[in-house]
């Protein structure tokens, strides 16, 4: 079973707790990157802490949450090597894996209900990168990261 690094600011704290419980029930190993209570936190700090585990190989995937998922996904995507996908539906979550090889899934704790969020997480984790022409495109994404434009 994959190991997942999970992090949220105060806007995603409740959803994080819910999803961590589900992931553990399903047999996933989870690294809790905070916040550890409903305390105010800055989402770039949580993105950095969570993505660090993905980049080191300590976790296979990252799951990050803030109120909308926007701030934490923007933050994660600033980190070299991270491809974070903000998803609010299961089809996008599947495509994030199959086409974009996203190594981080972002969710909005205030925009997506817990059961839908769980379906999104399962869709993301249940699919794999299809490669082929998508590998070329993902390689170009990473080139943009190197070149800056």
Phi, psi angle pair for 73, to nearest 5°? -75, -40
Q: Measured in Å, how far apart are the chain's first and last C-alpha atoms?
A: 37
List the beta strands (DSSP E) in 39-130.
61-66, 84-86, 104-108
Q: How far is the CB of 87 from ligand RB5 (least distance, A)?
A: 15
Least distance to ligand RB5, CB of residue 70, Å: 4
Q: Using omega within 30 degrees of 0 as the cis cutoff, is the peptide bond preceding 33 cis?
A: no
Span of 18-26, 48-56, 66-74, 97-105 interacting with ligand RB5 by CB under 6 A: 66-74
User: Cα 117 vs. chain centroid, distance in angstroms?
Assistant: 12
Interacting positions 11-40 with ligand RB5 (CB under 6 A): 11
C-beta of 25 vs 40, nearer to ligand RB5: 40
Q: Which of 68, 77, 103, 123 binds ligand RB5 (CB under 6 A)?
A: 68
Does position 70 interact with ligand RB5 (CB under 6 A)? The reply is yes
Compute CA 116 distance to the chain's CA centroid, rounded to the nearest angstrom: 15
Distances (CA, A) of 111 to 13, 45, 68, 102, 114: 13, 21, 6, 21, 10
Q: Does 66 bind ligand RB5 (CB under 6 A)?
A: yes
DSSP state of 68: S
Closer residue to ligand RB5 (CB): 62 or 99:
62
The reply to whether 43 sits near ligand RB5 by the rule CB under 6 A is: yes
Q: Which stretch binds ligand RB5 (CB under 6 A): 23-31, 65-73, 83-91, 121-129?
A: 65-73
Return residues touching ligand RB5 (CB under 6 A).
9, 11, 43, 66-68, 70-71
């Amino acid at each position: 079973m994959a190991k997942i690094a999970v992090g949220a600011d105060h806007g995603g704290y409740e959803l994080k707790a819910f999803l961590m419980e589900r992931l553990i029930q399903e047999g996933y190993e989870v690294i809790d990157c905070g916040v550890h209570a409903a305390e105010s936190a800055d989402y770039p700090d949580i993105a950095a802490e969570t993505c660090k585990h993905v980049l080191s190989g300590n976790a296979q995937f990252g799951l990050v949450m803030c109120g909308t998922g926007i701030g934490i996904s923007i933050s994660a995507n600033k980190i070299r090597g991270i491809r974070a996908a903000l998803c609010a539906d299961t089809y996008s979550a599947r495509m994030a894996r199959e086409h974009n090889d996203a190594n981080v899934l972002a969710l909005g704790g205030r925009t997506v209900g817990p059961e839908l969020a769980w379906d999104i997480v399962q869709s993301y984790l249940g699919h794999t990168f299809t490669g082929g022409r998508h590998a070329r495109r993902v390689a170009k994404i990473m080139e943009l990261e190197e070149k800056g434009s």
